[in-house]
Every structure is written in structure tokens, then in C-alpha cells.
Structure 1
Amino acid sequence: MTLITDVRLRRVLDSRGNPTVEADVLTESGGFGRARAPSGASTGEYEAIELPVGEAIATAREEALPRLVGEVYAGNQRDVDAALHAADGTNDFSVIGANSAVAISMATAHAAADVLGTPLFQHLGGTFRGDGFPVPLGNVVGGGEHAADATDIQEFLAVPVGAPSVEDAVFANAAVHAAVADLLDDHGIPAGKGDEGAWAPSIDDSKAFELVDEAIGVVEDEVGFEIKLGLDMAAAELHQKGVYQYSDDTRDTDEQIEYVAELAEEYDLAYVEDPLDEDDFEGFAELTDRVGSETLVCGDDLFVTNVERLERGIDVGAGNSILIKPNQIGTLTDTVEAVELGVANGYAPVISHRSGETEDTTIAHLAVATDAPYIKTGAVGGERTAKLNELIRIEQNV
């Protein structure tokens, strides 16, 4: 049986050296699950609330655990997540913290899968998932909120759309990352790494485009399949007093739309995330009309994995893709509902990590379970490769 008999919460480290919440869930038949909450640096205004870790743990122990232990079956994820909502009593987890909620929610799913003796993706997705696997988006050059004194655009992404397997895609992204390092060295440009392991050189966006485009070309020749370029612009972070403030330029909304449309055409972008401010549904719709037949226009800060905001976007045609981050909304149930609503309305779900990560691999299973076409996991770094290596294992064991 999967009756929850214990929930244990503790403080652990994330990839930036900050504290985060880890949850263990135990069931009466010996099932065990563990999960950890990630944390973002570039966060949307409408995300569920992440509380200071000590406060989140203390409040969840007081408010949530009595509703779970001995009361709810781990095998019924909707009941578990409903209990978390009831314990919190708000629409943004501002009482027990989305960091506690998502760790408990994901750990419970792991415990239920353990009882069944099945991989998590099978428990979450059952038999309805398709035969495909998500294409990993590899962050190879980054700036914005992820690295100081680097590019204005937050992420330059390798998108190995032609890879015949997840394994090939994973190693292609790593090769692009390495090729960028070689090109930086050739140009005498020193570079450290940002939060997600991407190179963070002190260069402008135009130089980054040049280097990443060249690195992709080099790796394409080596691997023999197509790799495209993608972006996470994190434009809400650039939007100040009604304009988009770049290091060397200022653009109003119309100019920003034109700029992104020109980039999409020039570089044949496969993907562009958050190209406009998080409240600009109309601007997203206009850009989608311009480039959406060729490029995924993805809302992250725009939608924050929230069905109400996604419904608003659907109504006006804002974007054609939704970024999915479980900690933005707090539970797996809410997460999957956002995926399902998006898919039903032609929005491609992109399952995503955060800049502050752990070795937790839940999102790899979630991407496979929901048949998501893409997953953002980074390209290098232990907390990033944990997800990538798990995808390889899943692919080879299905």
C-alpha cells in the first residue's frame, strides 16, 4: 500500500551554494521517494512564492505534514497535491512555500513509483506517452541574470533538432560548449562560467551570435546532423520604464519585436524564450504572427506554468510554446495540467531546470512522461548532467 507514513524535510545545498529544501517520503509498504526544490535567479513576478528555507521547512512541518502522514496515499498524486494546497490556503504557496510544496509533491511521486517497482516516467505517464524523446536545449553562452559583465541576452542555446537519439543530442550540446571554448581561446577572450555552466565571456550579443553560430557549424560538420540556435532573452529583466535597455541600445516594444524577428530570420532560430516583457501578451501575439510558423516563441515569465495565465495567452495567440517549471506552480498536478492545456491548444511544452539546481532528476522523467518535444537542462555541470544522463538511461531502457 502507498499510505504515507512519514515525510522528512531538510536543508541541503543547491548548485549556487544556497540552501534549498529536500523531502523524503515513506509509505507503509516501504516505498521511498526523495526530491529537491530548485531555485531561479531570473524569476517571473507571478511565480509561486519561494520562502526562506528554514521558514518553508518549519511551516510545512506544522501545516502540511499532519494532512499527509497517515491521511493520504502516495499513489494518488492529485490527493497529495490537494492536501498541500489545503495546508497552504493561498493561490501562490506563500504560507508553506513553493519550495517545500514542490519537494514534497515530487518526492511523493518517486515513493509511489518505488512501491510499484516502475520508473518514475512510467508512473507519471503510463501508456499514453508517445514514442519520442525530448530534444535537450544546451545553454552554451550566457549572461543576463546568470552571469555578471556578460551578454545582455541571458542564454544562447544549442538545439540539436536533427539528432537521431537523446544520447547523440546530449553529446552534441557538450561538443558545441567545447567548441565555443576553443573559439574564445582563439580570439584571446577569457571566460568563466555562469550559474548553469554556460560560458560567460565579457562580450556583446553580436559577438556571441558570431561565436555560437560558428561553433554550431563546426559541430554539425562533425556529427552529421542539424543543430539550430535558440535564445532565452529573459526580456522582463531588460524591460525598464517602458523600453528594453541593452548595453549599447534602447528599444521600444515595436523595435524589440522587429529585432527578434530579424534575429529569427538571420539565424534560423529554432526557439526564442521570453522575447518580451512578462505582461506583454499582445506583443507576444504580434511576434508569434511574424515568426511562429518557423520558430517556437516560448513563454516563461509570461505563463509561469500557470493555467490561468496560459488561458489568457491562448485567447490572444501569445506564443506557441510554454516553459514548464514545477517549482513555479508548486505541485506536479498543477504542472501536468499546464502541460495538458498547452498541448490541447497547440503550445509545445518545454520542461525546464532552474539556474539554482541539484542532482534531482525528476524533470527528466517528467519530460518523457508528458512526451514533451524539448527539455532545458543545460549542457555541462554535475547538476545539469544528472538530468542528461538520466535521459540517456531512460532512452536505453524503454
Structure 2
Amino acid sequence: MTAIASVKGRRVWDSRGHPTVEVDVVLENGVLGRAIAPAGASRGTREAIDLRDGGKLLQGKNVAKALASVNGPIAKALKGRDVNDQGAADAAILALDASPFKEMLGGNATVATSLAILHAAAADARKPLWRHVADQYGTTPSLPLPEIQIFGGGAHAGRRVDIQDFMIMVPGARDFDEVMEITNEVYFAAGDIMAQKGKLAGVADEGGWWPMFDSNEEALETLVAAIEKAGEVPGERVVISLDIAASEFRKDGAYNLALEDRKMDSAGLIDLLGGWLDAYPIASIEDPVGEDDRAGMIEFTRRFGDKVQIIGDDYLVTNAQLVHEAAAQGACNAVLIKVNQAGTVSESIETFHAAIAQGWGAIVSARSGETEDSSISHLSTGLGGGQLKVGSFTRSERMVKWNECLRIQDTLGRDAFVKGASLARTWWGAKQKETA
């Protein structure tokens, strides 16, 4: 047993310039584990709460209360505990907060601490974090398929377009290096096309281009054109992935596409998205309906679940129980894993295992407010989850995570890249079987 000697929180700053929580866990032998809490702009109503101070200082976003949680009750509860028992350490944290969404301690306090414990245990074992995760949870490590934003929208780009993320995946790449090369070509091709048409407004929260499109579908048309300009055939090595984040534009039971001044019910939105699935090489779609639209998610999955990956984010909020319920209802076939959405590593891993038990995909994901912390690159690799969503191809808080995967590839080897395995049950996977 290696015991935790101290837990210390400090205020640091995220990619949007807002305060966040960093935690150091120091062991009795002097080994250090450190992690930082990210923050989301588009948030599910059932996810762990970031504890902020309110008031006028720092736009109400200061984290003195969350730091008090770390440096007070959390530190006291963890001192002397075995760093290698992640489950017991996380349980000790959870026992301090009886509120449903960690409102008392703050999810930002709990997630930074929980991840720091994981880092400390890996350092104590003298293992890279991905290897420690694999050993701890009995998984087979592999390099994930990236899901990379080209255009930002929704809450990530001042709602200039209604759809939150227009992304690509490169399941036909040979290795992680080639994914990065092809994404580079597509990303800058898209920027060139937008600049030539006067449609480029800058860079969004997650590093994708901030668009000035006249319709949501124009973004899809431009993305296809960018893939072609990069020398690729859309739907072959490169496919499209969308995060609709439909909860963000659902109000009073209706969906309001502000860019196009269109209002529709659940059936209308499903038909619209279905038309896009027919017209464009979309292999994955996230939160196609709102988090409170259970009937809509069941219907969307019934119609398109054998064709595309359907991810629950706000709909499932990294919650194992919600995954089991959704699977029983026939809603979704994949879950987004955001550690800060759950609040601890153990709860996130439980959700991961729940998804795998259902035969679902499990995509480890970053948040729009990110930092130089690369924990999720190791989590995705160590769990062998098959897919990683970080944001775009620019800004260091994004690139540090992609670059960490390249370093891991040097150890695991290029053959550890999963390629398109996570899309095996989509139209893209069926196409590969036909041509094999």
C-alpha cells in the first residue's frame, strides 16, 4: 500500500480564460499526481455541477468554493488512503456530497481530485497512465480513432450555426500519423474555401473554423468540398461526424433552427437529419434530439441505428444507469464519456463498462473549456474505447491531446491503431466488408 500524504487544490485557467481547478495528490513516498478540471459550455441538465462563486469577480466564475472543497473535506477524507484503490478513494469523495449532481463539493473539485489520484497511482507504479488504466480495469489498450472538429457551431461559436460540431473521422487511415496528416489537409482546405467565399469569421471555442454560413446544410456542403479539395473521396477514407446538441435549440417541445428561422417538432427534425444522412457521408451523429425527447431518440435509433453511430451525450451524461435504461428502450447505440460530466474516474469507468456490456460504442471526450491536461488521451487508449473526441486541429489545449496519442503510438506501435473498428456497424463498415 502506498498512502496519500496530501491533497492540494489551486486555481489555474482554462482555454476560454476562465478559472478552473487543478489538484496535486502527493504520496508518502513523494510521488506526485496532478490533473485539471475542464468545463463545458453545452451542458446536460443531469451532469455534475461546476461549483462557481458567483458575484461580480471574474464574471462569477471564480472557484474559491471548489478549492475550499479540495483543500478541506476532500483532503481530509483522502489522507492516508491507498492510492491504488481508485474505487475506494472515489467512494470517499462521493460520501462527502449527498446532492444529486455534486452541488456541494463541486464536480470541478471532484473530477480534478479523482484524476490526480489516478495519475499518482500510475506514477507510483512507474507506468504510463494508459498502461495503468489498462492494468487497473482489465482492458486491452489501443490507439483510438480521432473525431476532429472542422467547423464549430452552437454554443461553441456564438450560435452562428445551430448545429454544434461539424467533424471528420479518418477510419481509412493506416495509423494515427496519417489521421493527423489527412485532417490537416481537410482543415486548411475548409478554411481556404470559407475565406474565398467570405464565410470565415475566425476560430471557435474548440479550434474549429467559426463559420458565417447562410444555412446549416451549407456547412455540410462546404465540408464535403473541403474533403475533396484535400484530395480525398468523401465516404472512403474520410467520413463526417455531427454533434447536433439538439437540447441547445429545443424550447417548449419544439426545435428552433434560428439560422434558418425554422421551427419543427421532433418528427420534423428527425426527417431533416435523415435527409442529411442520405445526402452526405455521415457515419456518426451525437444528440440528434433533445435530452428530454425520449420518444424522439427511440424513433431516431429505430430508423437509423443500423446505419450510423448514434451517441448520447446530454441524453446520457456519462451515467451507467441511463445507459442501461436507454439500451432497454432502444435509444442510442453509443455513449460519450466525459469524466467531468460524471464527476469521478470510477463513475466514468462504470459507464464505459455499461456501454461495452450492451455492445455499444464508448467515445472518450474533452470539453469546450479545456486545458493542457492530456488525461483523456491515456484514458481512451488504456480502455481501448476505440474513439476519442477532443475538438479541432488547432489550439494547444487540443493539440496536446492529439500529440500525446502520437507519443503513445511510439510505445504501443502503429498496429495498435483501431482504424475504423468503432464504425464497423455503420454503413461505412458495411462498405468495407463488401470491398474486402
Measure, in 2, the Cα distance between the counterparts of 1:175 and 1:80.
44
Per the TM alignment, residue 391 of structure 1 is displaced from its structure 2 partner at its CA by 0.7
Residue in 2 that maps onto 1:20: 20
- What RMSD over aligned residues (CA atoms) do the two structures have, in Å? 1.7
Residue in 2 that maps onto 1:291: 304
Residue in 2 that maps onto 1:259: 272
Measure, in 1, the Cα distance between the counterparts of 2:42 and 2:118.
27
Aligned pair partner of 1:110 in 94, 119, 123: 119
Per the TM alignment, residue 89 of structure 1 is displaced from its structure 2 partner at its CA by 2.7
Measure, in 2, the Cα distance between the counterparts of 1:86 and 1:149.
39
Aligned pair partner of 1:192 in 202, 206, 228: 202
Aligned pair partner of 1:380 in 391, 394, 402: 394
Query: Are the aligned partners of 2:298 and 2:332 in contact in 1 as well (CA < 8 Å)?
Result: yes
Measure, in 1, the Cα distance between the counterparts of 2:123 and 2:232.
43
Q: Normalised by the size of structure 1, how large is the TM-score?
A: 0.96
Per the TM alignment, residue 223 of structure 1 is displaced from its structure 2 partner at its CA by 12
Measure, in 2, the Cα distance between the counterparts of 1:90 and 1:323.
23
Residue in 1 that maps onto 2:35: 35
Change (3 A) 1:186 1:18: same
- Are 1:390 and 2:404 an aligned pair? yes
Measure, in 2, the Cα distance between the counterparts of 1:337 and 1:104.
18
Query: Are the aligned partners of 1:348 and 1:372 in contact in 2 as well (CA < 8 Å)?
Result: yes
Query: Are the aligned partners of 1:151 and 1:200 in contact in 2 as well (CA < 8 Å)?
Result: no
Measure, in 2, the Cα distance between the counterparts of 1:330 and 1:286.
30
Aligned pair partner of 1:239 in 243, 250, 253: 250
- Are 1:156 and 2:169 an aligned pair? no
Equivalent residue pairs, number? 397
Query: Are the aligned partners of 1:220 and 1:226 in contact in 2 as well (CA < 8 Å)?
Result: no
Per the TM alignment, residue 155 of structure 1 is displaced from its structure 2 partner at its CA by 0.6
Q: Which runs of 4+ in 1 moved over 4 A?
A: 222-225
- Are 1:221 and 2:232 an aligned pair? yes
Q: Structure 1 regions of 5+ residues with no counterpart?
A: none
Per the TM alignment, residue 59 of structure 1 is displaced from its structure 2 partner at its CA by 2.4
Per the TM alignment, residue 250 of structure 1 is displaced from its structure 2 partner at its CA by 1.2
Residue in 1 that maps onto 2:428: none
Residue in 1 that maps onto 2:378: 365
- Are 1:54 and 2:74 an aligned pair? no
Query: Are the aligned partners of 1:141 and 1:199 in contact in 2 as well (CA < 8 Å)?
Result: yes
Per the TM alignment, residue 77 of structure 1 is displaced from its structure 2 partner at its CA by 0.4
Per the TM alignment, residue 221 of structure 1 is displaced from its structure 2 partner at its CA by 2.9
Deviations along 1:369-393, whole A, 9 cap, x unmatched? 1111211012221000010000111
Query: Are the aligned partners of 1:47 and 1:329 in contact in 2 as well (CA < 8 Å)?
Result: yes
Query: Are the aligned partners of 2:134 and 2:140 in contact in 1 as well (CA < 8 Å)?
Result: no
Aligned pair partner of 1:138 in 148, 151, 164: 148
- Are 1:168 and 2:183 an aligned pair? no
Q: 1:318-333 maps to which residues of 2 (within 5 A)?
A: 318-333=331-346
Measure, in 2, the Cα distance between the counterparts of 1:238 and 1:221.
33
Change (3 A) 1:314 1:223: closer
Percentage identity across aligned positions? 37
Residue in 2 that maps onto 1:280: 293
Q: Normalised by the size of structure 2, how large is the TM-score?
A: 0.88
